[in-house]
Amino acid sequence: MSEVSRIVQRIDTERLRRARELSELKVRMTEMEGASKYGVNSKALIVLSYAHWEGFYNECVTYYIEALKEADKKVRDTSWLLLIGVLRPDLQRLRDRNHSSSAEIEFVERLRSLLDSDFNNFDNMSIRSRSNLNFATLKNNFNILGFDISPFQRWRIKIDKELVGWRHSVAHGDEPDLSSVDLHRHVQFTQDMLLLLADTFQNDLFNKSIYSEI
């Protein structure tokens, strides 16, 4: 089995681990039948569901970049916008030096070599989530990755209002409106989104010609 094949399997293994933990939550919710939707158990379920959503996305990013690194891919040949992850430190230096003439010259001089970069020095933070994986963030990151956002489009409102919005309300000490919510379905929705994330990253690896051996 190739290293890339193992990375693809690691994505599945991690998704299944998280899905099992979420399934345990559904069982616990059944055992707590009649408990208030506004109680601490419900709030814990909402926060943990979001944690799995964002955490799994970030792990997929890590595994994906690791696979491209192992395959010795050039960044620009994978997705042109992924060069953001290579140029990020230089862009920051350019900002720090107030875009002075000398800083701009140095940036352009380095640009030639940076355009031929592989993933060894790629900055994952350019495509990771930092505590707010709403639809806009996902769409922006998918644009950089060169992924199709359309499979997630139909779930845009549920991602923003329920998966992300409820979590933020709980985290800020507010009371999200759960009056008409089926928390079992909320867990199932989270599991479905994890599967969709896994499919997106894995399919992209499968579709690249260098992965035809998988």
Question: DSSP states of 10-71 as a string?
Answer: HHHHHHHHHHHHHHHHHHHHHHTTT--TTSHHHHHHHHHHHHHHHHHHHHHHHHHHHHHHHT
How many beta carbons lie within 10 A of that of residue 181, not counting itself?
15
- Residue 122 in any domain: the answer is no
User: What pLDDT does residue 4 have?
Assistant: 72
Per-residue pLDDT, 193? 98
* Averaged confidence pLDDT in the chain: 87
Q: Return the percentage of the chain with pLDDT > 90, whole number.
A: 57
The answer to whether residue 7 scores a pLDDT higher than 90 is no
User: Residue 130's pLDDT is what?
Assistant: 83
CA distance 31 to 49: 18
State pTM to two decimals. Answer: 0.88
Q: Do 91 and 145 fall into the same domain? A: no
Residue 64 located in a structural domain: yes
Q: What is the mean pLDDT of residues 88-116?
A: 89
45 and 8 housed in the same domain: yes
Regarding whether 85 and 67 lie in a shared domain, the answer is no
pLDDT for res 171? 81
What totals of helices (H) and strands (E) does the chain contain, helices first?
10, 0
Q: Provide the number of structural domains found in the chain.
A: 2
Clarify whether residues 99 and 56 are in a common domain: no
Residue 32 lies in a domain: yes
* pLDDT over 50 (residue 45): yes
**Nearest Cα residue to 161 out of 184, 148, 178:** 178
Predicted confidence at residue 38, as pLDDT, reads 55
Mark which of 117, 142, 174 sits at the end of a domain.
117
Q: Are residues 49 and 79 in the same domain?
A: no
For residue 173, what pLDDT band results from cuts at 50, 70 and 90?
confident
Distance CA 163, CA 150 (A): 18
Domain boundaries, position 94: 75-117
